[in-house]
Amino acid sequence: MSIEVKNVNRRFGNFAALDDVSLEVQTGELLALLGPSGSGKTTLLRVIAGLETVDSGQVLFHGEDATSQHVRDRRVGFVFQHYALFRHLSIFENVAFGLRVRPKANRPGEAEIRRKVMELLELVQLDWLADRYPHQLSGGQRQRIALARALAVEPRVLLLDEPFGALDAKVRKELRTWLRRLHDEMHITSVFVTHDQDEALEVSDRVVVMNEGRIQQIGTPQEVYDHPVNAFVYQFLGNVNLFHGRVDEGTALIGPAGLPVPAHGETTVGQAIAAYARPHDIELIRPRQGELGISARVEHLLAVGPIVRVDLRPDDSDAPIHAEIPRDQAARLALVAGDRVLVRPRQVRVFAA
Amino acid sequence: MTTAVLQPALALPVRPVEKATAEPPWVRLLLIGLALAFLGIFLFVPLAAVFYEALRKGVGVYWQAVTEPDALAAVRLTLLAAAISVPLNLVFGVAAAWAIAKFEFRGKNLLITLIDLPFSVSPVIAGLIFVLVFGLQGWFGEWLSEHDLKIIFAVPGIVLATIFVTFPFVARELIPLMQAQGTEEEEAAVVLGASGWQTLWRVTLPNVKWGLLYGVILSNARAMGEFGAVSVVSGHIRGLTNTLPLHVEILYNEYQFAAAFATASLLALLALVTLVLKAWVERRFAD
C-alpha cells in the first residue's frame, strides 16, 4: 500500500504546522519523519492516519483519495508514543479490541479471535503476559503490545508516533533493531516519527527531514547524512562546528587567517560562507613553526568509550569548538586542559552565509 | 599479592533516625488532640444525640414514628425524587464531562461556570427561581393552570428543585478525571475501528467508572438530604409534598421531638451508609 500526501496545509491559529507538504511513501518501505519538536512531523503522521484534518491538500492511499475518509475506515495501525493501551482491559483484550468492535457481519468467532491474538502475542514475544494488565508491564513490553494491537486489524499501513520516545536508552536500541527485523519479515508500509537522528538513520529505508512545517530533504539515510541540502539538515543530523569565511574553488578559506580547507557544497567563488565541520573531522596538532591552523586553548577533555571529546576555545572567537579524536591520537598528543593547539578541520561543508 | 585493608567499624551511638518531615511528639499529640476534639464536638456528639433522642421514649415510639403514613409518604417521596434526579444527573454529568474533557469548542468556560452555578447559588434562591417561573404568579403560571398542570407545591417541583441542586456532582467529579486521562485511548479505539458509541461504552466509561460511582453517591446523598430548595417549592402538604428533611422540620415545630429525631435518624443512617460506600469506592478508585 503506497501513501501519497499532496500539498497539505494545516494551521493551528497563526502557527503553520504543515506548510505545503508533499510526500510519497512507497509500498513496503519503512520511512522516518525526522525533525525537532514543532517541526510538524507528528501532525503529518496524524494527517495520514486521519486523526487530524487538513486545511487544504490531499492524502491518497494506493492512489485513492482518502482525505475525507474517517479514521476508522482507513485501516491504519497507529502506535502512540505513550502506548495508549486500554488500562481497564487485559493484554489479551487490548489486542482483541480491534476484532471485537467490528460489525457483526465480519466479526470473527471467539476461537478465531483467540487464535489471532495469541499469534500476535507470540510475534511480539509476549504471549506469557496475556492475562496481565497494562500497568503491570514495563515500557518496552507495553510498546510491543501496542504494536500487536495495531497489527490485529491487519492495517494497510503502520504509523508510529515516537514509538521509542518514552523508553530508556538501552530498551530503545533493542526495540529499534527488533522493529527493523519485524518490518523486514512483514513488509508492511510503515511511517514512524522521531526526533532522534540515530534512530532515523539506523532503522529506516528513507528519511524525511522536517523543520518548521516544511520538508527539508527526503533521501536514504546515507544520502541525507552525506549530502545534506542545507545547513539545517547538516546541523540536525549530528554535532557540528561552525566557521565563517569565504569560498575559493573547492576550498574554503576560514577564520581571520584564511585557513584553506577542502570544501563540499554549492557556492560561488568569493561568496561569504558558513562552513560546518563534524567534531570527528577536526584535527588537532601542537603549534609548530610554519603550520597553519586556528589557534585555540584546550578547555576540557572527556574520554568516552573509544574517543576523547575535546572542548576548545579559539583565540579569535567566543564560539567553542568541539573535537572528537581517537584515544591513541589523544595519547600521542598528551593533551591537558590549558594546552595551546592548532585546530584544522579535515573537510568542511559550506553553505551560503 | 594483595593486602586487605580493614576499616574499623565506627561505633556510633544507636539512635532511631528521625525523618526530616517528622514533628516532635508534643506537636503531634497537640494536633491530633485538636482534630479529635473538633470532630467529637461537631460530628460525634450530634450524631449520638440524634440516635439517643430518637430512642429515648423506647423502641415502640421510634417504630411508630417511622411507620406512620405521613412518614412513609415522606420516605417514598424522598426516594422518588432521588430515583428521578440521580439517573438524570448521571446522563447529564457524563455528557457534559465528555464534551468538556474531550473536545475543544467555543463557550466551554461558560459551560463549566454554568455547571457550578447550583453550588454557588443559595438553595433557597434556587427554589424561589422555580416558584417565579412555574408558580401561579410566575411566567408560565397562567398557562400551567389553564392546562391543569401543577408543578409548584407538587411532586414535579420537588423533583425539579432536587435536580437543580444536585446536577454539578457527577460532572464535577468526572471532568478533572477525564481531562487527566486525555484522549489517546479514545483515539486508539477509533483507529482500531470502534464507533463513537463503542468508544464511549468500551473505553471512556470503564476508565471513569469509579469516579462516576463516587459522583452518583454524592449526588444521591444530596438529593435525599436537600432542604432549602425543596422547602420553598414544596408547600409542606403532609403525606403529599413532604420529603424526609421537611417532615423532620414539621415534627420538630410541633414539639414531637421523639418522632422528629426518629425520622432524623433515618437520614443519619442514610448518611452513614453513604459514607461507608464512599470510603469503599475511594479505596477501589485509588487502585
Q: B80-137 pLDDT, tens per residue?
A: 999 999 999 999 999 999 999 888 888 888 988 888 888 888 888 988 888 888 887 7
Q: Is B203 on the interface with A (CB under 8 A)?
A: yes
Q: What are phi and psi of B276, to 5 degrees?
A: -65, -45
Q: What is the pLDDT of residue A59?
A: 92
Average pLDDT over chain A, rounded to an integer: 89
Cα-Cα-Cα-Cα dihedral sign, residues A268, A274, A279, A282: positive
Which chain B residues contact residue A149 at CB under 8 A?
Answer: 188, 192
Contact between A84 and B207 using a beta-carbon 8 Å cutoff: no
**Most A CBs within 10 Å, among B104, B177, B185, B191, to test the A interface:** B191
pLDDT at A266 over 90: no
Nearest CB among A76, A87, A88 relative to B191 is that of: A76
8-state DSSP, A293:
-
Its ipTM equals 0.82
A71/B190 Cβ within 8 A: yes
Backbone angles phi and psi of A340, in degrees to 5: -100, 135
DSSP string, B99-155: HHHH---TTHHHHHHHHHHHHHS-HHHHHHHHHHHHSTTSTTHHHHHHTT---TTSH
| Distance, CA of B92 to CA of A181 (rounded, Å) | 50
Which residues, at least 6 apart from A27, have a Cβ–Cβ distance to it below 8 Å? Answer: A1, A2, A189
CB A81 within 8 A of CB A195: no
Mind telling me how many Å the CA of A70 is from chain B's nearest CA?
9
> Smallest CA–CA separation between A18 and chain B, in Å?
21
- CA–CA separation, A77 vs A75, rounded Å? 7
Query: pLDDT tens digits, residue range A209-259?
Result: 999 999 999 999 999 998 888 889 998 988 888 888 887 777 777 776 777
Which residue in chain B has the smallest CA separation from A148? B192
Residue A16, CB half-sphere, CA atoms under 13 Å: how many? 13
What's phi and psi for B66, nearest 5 deg? -90, -10
* A262: DSSP letter: E
* Confidence bin at A172 (pLDDT 50/70/90): confident
Low-confidence ranges of chain B (pLDDT < 50): 1-3
CB contact under 8 Å between B202 and A101, yes or no, is yes
pLDDT at A146: 94
User: How far away is chain A from the Cα of B200, in angstroms, using its nearest Cα?
Assistant: 12
pLDDT at B182 (0 to 100) = 87
Q: How many angstroms separate the CA atoms of B202 and A307, rounded?
A: 54
CB atoms within 10 A of CB A313: 14
Query: Which DSSP symbol is given to B56?
Result: T
Task: Return the residue of A nearest to B193 by Cα.
Answer: A72
Whether B202 has its CB under 8 Å from any CB of chain A: the answer is yes
State which residue of chain B sits closest to A71, comparing Cα positions: B191
The three cell numbers locating residue A14:
497563526
Q: Which chain B residues are closer than 8 Å to A75 by Cβ? A: 193
- Note whether A98 contacts B192, CB cutoff 8 Å: yes
What percent of the residues of chain A are helix, what percent strand, and what percent coil, each to the nearest 5?
30, 35, 35
CB contact under 8 A, A84 and B184: yes
∠ CA B51-B57-B59, nearest 5°, is 70
What's the pLDDT at B12?
Answer: 58
Phi-psi category of A350—alpha, beta or left, where left has phi over 0 and alpha has psi -120 to 50? Answer: beta
Q: What is the pLDDT of residue B10?
A: 55
Going by their DSSP bridges, the two strands A157-161 and A189-194 should be labelled as parallel
With contact defined as beta carbons under 8 Å apart, do B127 and B229 qualify? yes
User: Given an 8 Å threshold on Cβ–Cβ distance, is B184 in contact with A80?
Assistant: yes
Say whether A84 and B194 touch across the interface (CB within 8 A). Answer: no
Q: Give me the pLDDT at residue A31, please.
A: 94
CA-nearest residue to B196 within chain A is A72
Alpha carbon distance A70, B67 (integer Å): 60
| Closest-approach residue (CA) in chain B for A151 | B192
Cα nearest neighbour of B191 on chain A:
A72
A273-277 mean pLDDT? 85
Specify the pLDDT at position B8: 52
**SS3 label, residue A85:** coil
The verdict on a CB contact (< 8 Å) between A88 and B188 is no
Q: How many helices (H) and strands (E) does chain A have?
A: 10, 20
Region A152-167: mean pLDDT is 89
The mean-pLDDT minimum among A10-14, A92-96, B283-287 falls in B283-287
Closest CB to B188: pick one of A75, A80, A102: A80
- DSSP-derived 3-state class of residue B272: helix
Interatomic CA distance for residues B212 and B219, integer angstroms = 10
Amino acid at B181: Q
Judge whether B123 and B227 are in contact, CB under 8 Å. yes
Nearest to B102 by CA among B170, B172, B187: B187
DSSP string spanning A15-69?
EEEEEEEEEEE-TT-EEEEE--TTSSHHHHHHHHHTSS--SEEEEEETTEE-TTS
Report the C-alpha gap between A217 and A32 in whole angstroms.
12
Amino acid symbol at A344? R
Read off the pLDDT band of A332 (50, 70, 90).
Answer: confident
Q: What distances in angstroms separate CA A216 from CA A17, A34, A41, A60, one per listed residue? A: 14, 10, 12, 21
Query: What is the reported pLDDT for B2?
Result: 47
- Residues of chain B contacting residue A76, judged by C-beta atoms under 8 Å apart: 191
d(CA A168, CA A165): 8
